[in-house]
Structure 1
Amino acid sequence: MSGNQTLELRTRWDDLTSFVSKDVTEKWWKIIIERYAARAFYNLDHLTQMFTFYDEYKDKLKDRYGTAFAVFFKQL
């Protein structure tokens, strides 16, 4: 995974969790990175790919924020 992909995911995470305290945001970001980075499949590349699909269809979703959280947490 490239640094750009990690930065893109981090930016998404920060935008999505802007209403949450910085401590909580950081705690969960570390968990997400640790869990996804250690995998051969369903890893950070997969997470990036899922957000590519999300971007394509987000305007058709009833709850785009709930779906974005689901993308981050589905494979944890």
Structure 2
Amino acid sequence: MLNLLAWLFGLISLVIVIPSTIPFLGWGNWLALPVIVIGVILGALSSSDSGRNFCLIVLLIAAIRLSIGGGII
């Protein structure tokens, strides 16, 4: 059940992160980061690792985008 919730939080954050790759919408990544962290925590508490790994991939995408934009743009 926790793995399913981790996947759900990962999908919600991915929907936020994808449009945030457009210039001047990078602030959306800051909104997605808490959702991703909750998904990672739920995935770590579950018996399966797939939800946690998915959230970590989304976190990596958001972190790379934030580093490219200097954290703001």
TM score, norm. by length of structure 1: 0.31
| TM-score relative to the length of structure 2 | 0.31
